[in-house]
Amino acid sequence: MKLLLHPAAKPVVFALCLLPFAWLTWGAFANTLGANPAEHLIRATGDWTLRFLCIVLAVSPLRVMAGWPALARFRRMLGVFCWFYGALHLLCYAWFDMGLDVPDIAADIAKRPFILVGFLGLVLLTLLAATSFNRAIKAMGARRWQALHKAVYLVAGLGILHFFWMRSGKNDFAEVAVYAAILGVLLGWRLWRRFSPAAATRRASAPARPRARG
């Protein structure tokens, strides 16, 4: 699609990605977030982290199946926004639930498994966001950079586990099942792409890489 290559496409996507943050900020100041605004902000930022994770992982399937290679130019931005909402999620928890008391936060993370796995997922997201720029790719080398960024699949698993454990106390798994199904389909597509007969044909027909000369 030509629209995806338009110079205004990236600013428009950037503005759209900021809309949830703007809506939540306005709601906090306008007092429209319900009876428990703090809980609403914690849950909403966590939901948007999962949504952006799904969007990031959907880029490759859409790019291939819809024939929209230009979608790849938005993947880095979407990934950084996934980290942004994850960081906001942690900040809201640390501020509203723990009063920014660092020793209490550390103790709470260590003793509650669902917070621990969510925190580990955010640590991995931070590594991915910090190395998502061209300078990092050049410094690490393409192969090591690609290996590191496959950790997004682990992030997806940790995110679903975090959400599952959080909802297990209320025995409410409907939303968990929706996100798990979406991420399962997106990850399953990658496995199918990698191990299907067509993938084997593509690898066999790919030109051999030249050997490095000593």
- The answer, as to whether pTM is greater than 0.95, is no
Whether residue 96 has pLDDT greater than 90: yes
pLDDT at 211: 43
Among residues of the chain, what percentage have pLDDT more than 90?
68
Q: How far apart are CA 21 and CA 59, in angstroms?
A: 22
pLDDT in tens, 102-118: 999 999 999 999 999 99
Helix axes 174-195, 152-168, angle to 10 degrees: 160
How many residues are given for the chain? 214
When pLDDT is cut at 50, 70 and 90, the band that residue 168 belongs to is confident
How many other CB atoms sit within 10 Å of the CB of residue 49? 28
Contact between 74 and 59 under an 8 Å Cβ cutoff? The reply is: yes
Whether residue 206 has pLDDT greater than 50: yes
pLDDT at 26: 97
Q: How far apart are CA 211 and CA 182, in angstroms?
A: 41
When pLDDT is cut at 50, 70 and 90, the band that residue 199 belongs to is low
Contact between 117 and 158 under an 8 Å Cβ cutoff? The reply is: yes
pLDDT at 198: 65
What does pLDDT average to over the chain?
89
3-state DSSP assignment of residue 137? helix
Q: How far apart are CA 16 and CA 22, in angstroms?
A: 10
Measured torsion, CA atoms of residues 90, 95, 99, 101, in degrees rounded to the nearest 10? 40
Burial of 83 (0-12, 13-18, 19+ CB in 10 A): buried
pLDDT at 44: 96
Among residues of the chain, what percentage have pLDDT more than 70?
91
pLDDT at 19: 97
Domain limits, the chain: 8-194
Measured torsion, CA atoms of residues 211, 140, 68, 125, in degrees rounded to the nearest 10? 150
Whether residue 93 has pLDDT greater than 60: yes
Amino acid at 210: P
Sign of CA dihedral 192, 193, 194, 196: positive
Amino acid at 53: L
pLDDT at 213: 40
For tokens 């698993």, what's the residue? 157
Give me 140's structure tokens. 């690490």
Mean pLDDT of the 26-49 span: 95
Mean pLDDT of the 44-64 span: 95
Mean pLDDT of the 1-28 span: 92
Max Cα distance, the chain (Å): 69
Mean pLDDT of the 164-189 span: 90
> Which contiguous run of DSSP H or E holds residue 141?
none
Burial of 121 (0-12, 13-18, 19+ CB in 10 A): buried
